[in-house]
Each structure stands twice: as structure tokens, then as C-alpha cells.
């Protein structure tokens, strides 16, 4: 039988030479495995004389415990060394700038919409919203648009299943709000998408964005309307020239349009303004008496003003675009160029 002290001495000399986790695993198999010298010696204890058996067994167990302890300690040390080498090889200075993903931004139409709402909030307007799929009542009848009006034709309106329509203006929210008979004064602004079945050109699309505002209160006059429009135009366009002109809308009487000098050409005429030099940005008027009466606002002196504009056209003007369609084509190459445009 092998001498346990000699086995332990041989193990320690080999342990001193072992450097890698793999070599330590080999030592564990060699000295503690099922076929190791120590295991065989323990199995053959019956061959040792009885008076020596207890002492030999103790020496074998002590040697096995020492090997187990020293191996475990060396393995832990080897694993720590291996981890340190790996960390050193793969170390990254997190203080250095990394690869940053491109930062997103608001869509230009949304940014313009928020800018317009900020101006209206200064006058006390609240934001209201409504559905984009509407009933003909809110889109036409409630707004004094008669059954024979051309806007109801298939050429102008998108009709959907169930006799509903895709709203052709955000004035539908005016009708829905007036129907609620909220306490006066009513001052609401309603932005959103609208749809019209019309030919697409430089400034017209089948889907675009609008923003409407309306104010109902006792004592309102046409002077209040002009004052609001002048404040809005002056806040949004600063020193840009603007003018009023008579217009006709079924839902306002009298009606007025507000033009600004084209931002692209400064009034000289270009494709964006159809060579006119001016662009109509706001249509407005006093809410039609029939609409006020239909919703029960019959108290003497109670009147309303309403105004609306296309935020899509306004965005095109601000960015100097001749094609409003470019805003909706989702071409990131084009969107990136807008960062360099004045806002």
C-alpha cells in the first residue's frame, strides 16, 4: 500500500506546477477520483493488519482532506485569476462616448400644431377632440350645410360603411361641444386630421391637418373676431403682412378670410401660392345664427365666432416647401433636411 504522506507530497509538488483550471481538474481526478491511489488504499484497508488499520485509515483520510482543501483553495484562486485576465482583456472605459442612436424629434406638423395651440391658450382656449369617422349630422347638418351642398358629393367627401363619413373639417367638434350646452363662455380649439376626396397638387392632399377655434359668449362682435385673428396671425407670423377678405362659409355669417404674404416668395408669386403672392391661412366668421338657434343659444346678445386653418399648409409655408405631400411620405432623408430649416 502506498504511503499517504508520500501521496500527499507528490500531490503538492504537482499542485505547485498547475496553473490552469484544466490542470487542476486533472489533479482532482487523479488524487480524488474513483480510481485514485487514495480511494484504492481505502478499499484495501482489510489487507492491513488489524492493529494498524485504524492508524492507516486516519492517515488516508487526513491526506484526502488535505488534498480536497488545497485543491479547492487553488481552484478558487485560479478562477479569480482567470476572471481578472478576462476582465482586463475585455475592459471597456464606460466614460468614453459610445455609439449613440439617432435622437428622434416631433413631426413638423405636430410641432406647428403645438405652436398654434400655445398661442390660443394665451387667449384662454382649451383643447377639445372628437372622432375622425363622423355621422353626416355633425359633419354637415349641424353646421348648416344643406343636403344639396357640393361638399356632400362623392367627389368631395369620403363615405364609409354605415352611411358615415370621414370628417372633412374639425368643425364637427364645434357642433359636438355646442350640443353639450356647457356654461358660457365657451372657448375651445380642436386640432386633428381631416379628409377630402380631392385632387392632390402642391398644396392639397386627400388627408391633411386642420385646427379650429371657436368662442361663444354674450356680447361678441365682429371686432372680437378680427382682434383674435390679428393676434393669432401676429403671434405666429410676427412681421409678415396679412390682409382680410370677404369669404363665404355655410357655417359662418358674415365670413372672412385672412391671407398672409407667401413665405416662399415674399409676395412675388411662386408655385406654393399659385403665383398669387398671398396664401389664405385662416377662414373665419361669426357662427351662423341658424347653428346657434339649433343648439339652443337663443339668449339675446349671445353670439359666437369661429376660425380655422390648415396646419399642414402652415407647416409647408414655414419650412419653405412647395409640396405639402413631402410631409407625409415618411422619407427620413427628407425629414433630416428639415432640421436645418427655420422653425
Grid cell for residue 83 = 476572471
Q: pLDDT by residue for the chain (343 residues), tens digit each?
A: 568 788 888 888 888 888 788 888 888 888 888 778 877 777 777 777 777 778 878 877 888 888 888 888 888 888 888 888 888 888 877 777 777 777 777 888 998 899 999 999 999 999 999 999 999 999 988 988 878 777 666 658 888 888 899 998 999 999 999 999 999 999 999 999 999 887 776 667 888 899 999 999 999 999 999 999 999 988 888 777 889 999 998 889 999 999 888 766 666 666 666 667 787 889 999 999 999 999 999 999 999 999 998 888 888 877 777 777 788 887 788 777 776 554 4
Are 164 and 294 in the same domain? yes
* Residue among 324, 318, 282, 325 nearest 111 (CA): 318
Are 120 and 60 in the same domain? no
Are 113 and 83 in the same domain? no
Condensed to tens digits (0 to 9), the pLDDT of residues 141-174 reads: 898 887 877 766 665 888 888 889 999 899 999 9
Are 83 and 121 in the same domain? no
Query: What CATH number does residue 152 fall under?
Result: 3.30.930.10
Task: Tell me if 98 is assigned to some domain.
Answer: no
Task: Tell me if 260 is assigned to some domain.
Answer: yes
The domain tally of the chain equals: 2
Are 229 and 259 in the same domain? yes
Task: Tell me if 291 is assigned to some domain.
Answer: yes
Alpha-carbon distance values, 219 to 105, 174, 320 (Å): 43, 19, 40
Condensed to tens digits (0 to 9), the pLDDT of residues 170-216 reads: 999 999 999 999 999 999 999 999 998 877 766 678 888 999 999 99
Domain range for 54 is 4-89
Are 84 and 220 in the same domain? no
Are 23 and 113 in the same domain? no
Task: Tell me if 307 is assigned to some domain.
Answer: yes
Task: Tell me if 20 is assigned to some domain.
Answer: yes
Are 199 and 304 in the same domain? yes
Task: Tell me if 103 is assigned to some domain.
Answer: no
Alpha-carbon distance values, 137 to 53, 95, 142, 270 (Å): 108, 62, 6, 39
Identify whether the C-beta of residue 343 lies closer than 8 Å to the C-beta of residue 107: no
* Residue among 311, 315, 286 nearest 301 (CA): 286
Are 126 and 76 in the same domain? no
Are 243 and 309 in the same domain? yes
Are 164 and 277 in the same domain? yes
* Residue among 330, 315, 248, 314 nearest 283 (CA): 248
Amino acid at each position: 500500500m502506498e504511503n499517504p504522506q508520500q501521496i500527499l507530497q507528490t500531490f503538492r509538488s504537482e499542485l505547485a506546477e498547475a496553473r490552469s483550471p484544466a490542470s487542476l481538474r486533472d489533479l482532482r481526478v487523479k488524487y480524488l477520483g474513483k480510481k485514485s491511489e487514495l480511494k484504492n488504499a481505502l478499499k484495501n484497508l482489510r489487507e492491513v493488519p488489524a492493529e494498524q488499520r485504524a492508524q492507516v485509515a486516519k492517515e488516508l483520510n487526513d491526506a484526502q482532506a488535505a488534498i480536497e482543501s488545497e485543491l479547492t483553495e487553488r481552484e478558487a484562486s485560479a478562477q479569480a485569476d482567470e476572471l481578472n485576465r478576462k476582465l482586463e482583456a475585455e475592459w471597456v472605459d464606460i466614460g468614453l462616448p459610445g455609439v449613440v442612436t439617432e435622437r428622434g424629434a416631433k413631426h413638423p406638423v405636430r410641432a406647428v400644431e403645438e405652436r398654434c395651440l400655445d398661442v390660443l391658450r394665451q387667449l384662454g382656449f382649451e383643447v377639445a377632440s372628437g372622432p375622425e369617422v363622423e355621422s353626416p349630422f355633425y359633419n354637415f347638418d349641424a353646421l348648416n350645410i344643406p343636403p344639396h351642398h357640393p361638399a356632400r358629393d362623392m367627389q368631395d367627401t369620403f363615405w364609409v360603411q354605415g352611411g358615415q363619413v370621414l370628417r372633412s373639417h374639425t368643425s364637427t367638434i364645434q357642433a359636438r361641444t355646442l350640443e353639450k350646452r356647457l356654461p358660457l363662455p365657451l372657448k375651445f380649439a380642436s386640432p386633428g386630421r381631416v379628409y377630402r376626396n380631392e385632387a392632390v397638387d402642391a398644396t392639397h392632399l386627400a388627408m391633411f391637418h386642420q385646427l379650429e377655434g371657436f368662442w361663444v359668449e354674450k356680447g361678441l362682435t365682429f371686432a372680437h373676431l378680427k382682434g383674435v385673428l390679428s393676434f393669432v396671425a401676429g403671434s405666429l407670423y410676427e412681421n409678415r403682412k396679412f390682409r382680410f377678405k370677404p369669404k363665404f362659409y355655410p357655417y359662418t355669417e358674415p365670413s372672412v378670410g385672412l391671407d398672409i404674404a407667401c413665405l416662399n416668395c415674399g409676395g412675388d408669386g411662386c408655385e406654393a401660392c399659385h403665383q398669387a403672392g398671398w396664401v389664405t391661412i385662416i377662414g373665419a366668421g361669426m357662427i351662423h345664427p341658424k347653428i346657434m338657434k339649433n343648439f339652443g343659444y337663443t339668449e339675446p346678445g349671445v353670439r359666437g365666432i369661429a376660425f380655422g386653418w390648415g396646419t399642414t399648409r402652415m407647416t409647408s409655408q414655414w419650412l419653405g416647401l412647395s409640396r405639402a405631400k413631402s410631409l407625409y411620405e415618411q422619407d427620413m432623408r427628407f425629414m433630416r433636411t428639415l432640421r436645418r430649416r427655420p422653425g
